[in-house]
Amino acid sequence: MSNWQKAKIEKSYKYQSRVFSENINDLTVVSREGKEITLNDGRKMTEFVSCSYLGLETHPDLKQAIIESVERFGAQLSVARTRIKVDLFPSLESKLSEIMFGAHTLTFNAVTPCHLAVLPLLASGELPEYKFSNTPYFIMEKTAHATLQINRGLLQQFGEVKRVDFQDKNAISEAFEFAHKNGLTPVSISDSVGSMGGVAPVKFIVEMAHTFNGYAYIDDAHGTSIFGKNGSGYVMECLDHKLDDRVIIAGSLSKAFGSHGGYIACNHKSTIDFIKAYGTTYTFGGPPSLPGIAACVAAADLHLNGVVERRQQDLNNRVRYFDEVFNDVEVINKGTAMPIRGILIGNEDKAISMCAKMHSRGFATTVAMYPTVEEGRAILRCALSAIHTRESIDALYSNFSSALSELS
């Protein structure tokens, strides 16, 4: 058996060691105001790194909610929620259900524990409303986030895992059809919005699940809040804001939502109750941060009272403006509504040097390279926010152009 992890480490080690040894990664922030950060070495930067695409994490309502929760409960109540929980959790899950147009929800301390709790239960065939008696056949998106990919070994205890390019509808349909013809139950596992680019054909995947008696588990972490009415997410937007019975959504509360945690959404209370009882990371993983959940409750209100809708519009304006300014540069996701932009550099060492130069010029971007993206396709990843200014995007472009000329 090949040691895939060792091979990946060996192939990427020289790049990963360089970004840490040269202090390009692992920056330490001592203060920030909006998108302006100050590092512990005194440098000041405009950051294009945070995945808080709507800028909600500094909203005064979230700050006040945290203060009030600490006064009520302290920093934490360290007990499994199956035993005892504070009222913040049912309040948040009720508001999330409203945001998700009636879908039932359950919160976790991150999206990864959502996967670890739900995927084994789904794979077992015993999850209520998602039951099956055949062997499962997992159709996993090739470029799905690492937190999904790491579950391949776990899933292989239940059935075969087939990795498929989800930008190729024919490949998806062939995988579903193969499962059906061989008496297997197809289970699609994918992102909605890719963290490094691309989107899944959500509606098509759901159609395949219905046609071939399968299911779809979709990680909507990067689609949460920035898409859909109420900020219900990319999946809900694709499904006209009516969650399908064959779909389970994993959403994030730690990115555009503005605070901390993850959640599961589906159409059935019986499914949620089962996950509470048998989902390992819910039962034994420890509760999420209480101040973080208090902030989530406040953020949920912003989703329901129109604030998020206005910030979605602001974000769309910033995304379009970025494309106008970077019109002569090859950019991943250009022309889409996604707030993630990848400025293609190509060579890994050059990308690292470019990121360092941008830091020295006062701009924090992420250098994304193998194994996060294909070898030879390294990018400067820019996460755009509703609170970025046009001036900051102009300055990013002019400094990028100058830095690139220096390396050429």
The confidence band for 106, taking pLDDT boundaries of 50, 70 and 90, is very high
195 and 252 together in one domain:
yes
Given 305, 325, 356, the domain boundary residue is: 305
pLDDT for the residue 197: 66
The answer, yes or no, to whether residue 403 has pLDDT greater than 90, is yes
348 and 384 together in one domain:
yes
List the domain range (segments joined by +) for residue 108. 60-305
111 and 222 together in one domain:
yes
Given 263, 287, 305, the domain boundary residue is: 305
Tens of pLDDT along 54-76? 999 999 999 999 999 999 999 99
For residue 39, the domain's CATH number is 3.90.1150.10
296 and 385 together in one domain:
no
43 and 67 together in one domain:
no
pLDDT for the residue 195: 67
Given 254, 272, 305, the domain boundary residue is: 305
Beta bridge partner(s), residue 293 = none
175 and 240 together in one domain:
yes
The answer, yes or no, to whether residue 268 has pLDDT greater than 80, is yes
Structural domains in the chain (count): 2
238 and 255 together in one domain:
yes
144 and 182 together in one domain:
yes
188 and 313 together in one domain:
no
10 and 86 together in one domain:
no
Tens of pLDDT along 41-52? 999 999 999 999
Range of lowest pLDDT (86-95, 259-268, 278-287, 301-310): 278-287
171 and 220 together in one domain:
yes
Q: Which residue has the tokens 């998806």?
A: 172
pTM of the model: 0.91
The confidence band for 305, taking pLDDT boundaries of 50, 70 and 90, is very high
Per-residue burial over 367-378, b = 16 or more CB atoms within 10 Å of its CB, e = otherwise: bbbbebbeeebb
175 and 275 together in one domain:
yes
